[in-house]
Amino acid sequence: MNSKKDWDQLLQFDRNHIWHPYTSMLDPLPVYPVVEARGVRLKLADGRELVDGMASWWAVIHGYNHPVLNEALESQLKKMAHVMFGGLTHQPAVELASLLIEITPKPLQKVFFSDSGSVSVEVALKMALQYWQAKGKTRKAKFLSLAKGYHGDTFGAMSVCDPITGMHKLFTHFLPKNFFVSAPECSFDASWDEKYITEFKTLLQKHHQEIAAVILEPIVQGAGGMRFYAPQYLLRVRELCTQYQVLLIADEIATGFGRTGKLFACEHSQICPDIMCLGKALTGGYMTLAATLCTDEVAETISGVEPGVFMHGPTFMANPLACSVARASVRLLLNSAWQDKIKSIEKQLKKELAPCQDLPAVNEVRVLGGIGVVEVKENVDVAWMQKEFVRLGVWIRPFLNLIYIMPPYIISTDELRSLTQAIFSVVRKVDAKSS
Ligand X SMILES: *Cc1c(COP(=O)(O)O)cnc(C)c1O
Helices (H), 358-412: 382-391
- Of the pair 45, 282, the CB lying nearest ligand X is at 282
Is 22 catalytic? The answer is yes
Of 246-254, 297-305, 392-400, 412-420: span binding ligand X (CB under 6 A): 246-254
184 in contact with ligand X (CB under 6 A): no
**Measured distance CA(258)–CA(33) in Å, rounded:** 30
- Of the pair 105, 355, the CB lying nearest ligand X is at 105
- Of the pair 254, 396, the CB lying nearest ligand X is at 254
Looking at residues 274 to 313 of the shown chain, list those that interact with ligand X (rule: CB under 6 A): 279-280
- Of the pair 140, 151, the CB lying nearest ligand X is at 151
Task: Classify residue 177 by its DSSP letter.
Answer: P
- Of the pair 97, 277, the CB lying nearest ligand X is at 277
User: Is residue 216 within a helix (H) or strand (E), and if so which, with residue range?
Assistant: strand 211-216
The end-to-end CA distance of the chain, in Å, is 44
319 in contact with ligand X (CB under 6 A): no
Find the catalytic residue in 110, 126, 262, 280.
280
Could you give the C-alpha distances from 220 to 36, 216, 264, 266, 373, in angstroms and in order? 31, 9, 11, 10, 12
Looking at residues 202 to 231 of the shown chain, list those that interact with ligand X (rule: CB under 6 A): 217, 222-223
Contact 161/151 with Cβ under 8 angstroms? yes
- Of the pair 116, 269, the CB lying nearest ligand X is at 116
Task: Classify residue 136 by its DSSP letter.
Answer: T
Instruction: Using alpha carbons, select from 197, 213, 209, 196 the residue that is nearest to residue 144.
Output: 213
Number of chain positions touching ligand X (CB under 6 A): 15
Task: Report the nearest approach of ligand X to the CB of residue 250 (Å).
Answer: 10
253 in contact with ligand X (CB under 6 A): yes
The residues near 206 (Cβ < 8 Å, ≥ 6 apart) are: none
Q: Looking at beta carbons, which residue is closest to ligand X?
A: 117
From 150, 196, 229, 233, residue interacting with ligand X (rule: CB under 6 A): 150
**Measured distance CA(53)–CA(69) in Å, rounded:** 20
**Measured distance CA(60)–CA(49) in Å, rounded:** 17
From 45, 69, 254, 402, residue interacting with ligand X (rule: CB under 6 A): 254
Task: Report the nearest approach of ligand X to the CB of residue 222 (Å).
Answer: 4
Q: How many residues does the chain have?
A: 435
Enumerate the β-bridge partners of residue 221. Answer: 227
**Measured distance CA(99)–CA(94) in Å, rounded:** 9
- Bond prior to 30 in cis (omega within 30° of 0): no
Type of residue found at 433:
K
Find the catalytic residue in 64, 150, 233, 404.
150
Is 150 catalytic? The answer is yes
268 in contact with ligand X (CB under 6 A): no
From 121, 271, 275, 323, residue interacting with ligand X (rule: CB under 6 A): 121
Find the catalytic residue in 5, 22, 27, 340.
22
From 39, 53, 92, 117, residue interacting with ligand X (rule: CB under 6 A): 117
Q: Which amino acids are annotated catalytic?
A: 22, 150, 251, 280
Summarize as ranges the residues that interact with ligand X (CB under 6 A). Answer: 116-118, 121, 150-152, 217, 222-223, 251, 253-254, 279-280
